[in-house]
Amino acid sequence: MDTNGGWQKIPEVVSRLRKSFRGGCTKSRDWRYQHLRALQRLMVEGRQELCSGMKEDLGKSELEGYLTENNMVENEIRCCLDNLDEWMQPDKKSTNLLNIPASSYTINEPYGVALILGAWNYPVMLSLQPLVGCIAAGNCAVIKVPPPQFSPTSSRVVAKLIRKYLDPRFFCVVEGDKDVFDALLEERWDIIFATGSANHGKTVAMAAAK
């Protein structure tokens, strides 16, 4: 979603993602595995573009960009794929005498629709690493890439790859500056991932508390 002049469409996008989440398919093991694998393909097949973008924006060598950003995301994806089945199993709990012969257990449930606010100094890791956990937990997400005035090439590449590899019924990438950021914080989110200064954190926390 290119929000230059079109950030008014954000409520419509959030509504669409909520409808997809309420459909229930994100709770399945197959859905989570399929989209983790899609994100893995994004990281592997888009590795050169991502590293080149970080070099152009931040002066990071391709090795530094890979080790400090891409590699972190790829390792987290592998960890989630390796442990997904175990994490999705019910966690058996003891049952008190009054409820015997019943059995007790807890099941982890997804939150719903997440907002991920990327940061310019780590434009790949801080935009995509939170998405790994979102998918593994069965959530939909809106990913706001860093503002174009700080990391234009990296943001553009991340946005392009998300649109190419991830299903728009469940994931939306948003580009833009402060107007877009403010419009996003007007929406209700089930969980928000944000990295930044103390003032940035206060702004996000105040919006989340509404």
Among the residue ranges 26-35, 72-81, 179-188, the one predicted with the least confidence is 179-188
Q: What is the pLDDT, as a whole number, of residue 5? A: 43
Q: What is the pLDDT, as a whole number, of residue 181? A: 92
Q: What is the pLDDT, as a whole number, of residue 188? A: 94
Among the residue ranges 43-57, 92-106, 107-121, the one predicted with the least confidence is 92-106
**Separation CA 10–CA 8 (nearest Å):** 6
Q: Is 72 a residue whose pLDDT tops 70?
A: yes
HEC states along 11-72? HHHHHHHHHHHHCCHHHCHHHHHHHHHHHHHHHHHCHHHHHHHHHHHHCCCHHHHHHHHHHH
pLDDT in tens, 10-44: 999 999 999 999 999 999 999 999 999 999 999 99
3-state class (DSSP) for residue 193 = strand
Question: Beta-carbon neighbour count of residue 174 at 10 Å?
Answer: 26
Instruction: Take residue 25 and report the two structure tokens written for it.
Output: 């398919």
Longest dimension (CA), the chain: 66
> Which among 128, 122, 115, 112 has a CA at the least distance from the CA of 77?
128
Q: What is the pLDDT, as a whole number, of residue 7? A: 63
Distance of CA 73 to the CA centre of its chain: 11
Residue with the bigger pLDDT between 6 and 117: it is 117
Report the pLDDT averaged over residues 158-187: 95
- Measured between its terminal Cα atoms, the distance across the chain in Å is 26
Report the pLDDT averaged over residues 134-150: 95
**Separation CA 18–CA 170 (nearest Å):** 9
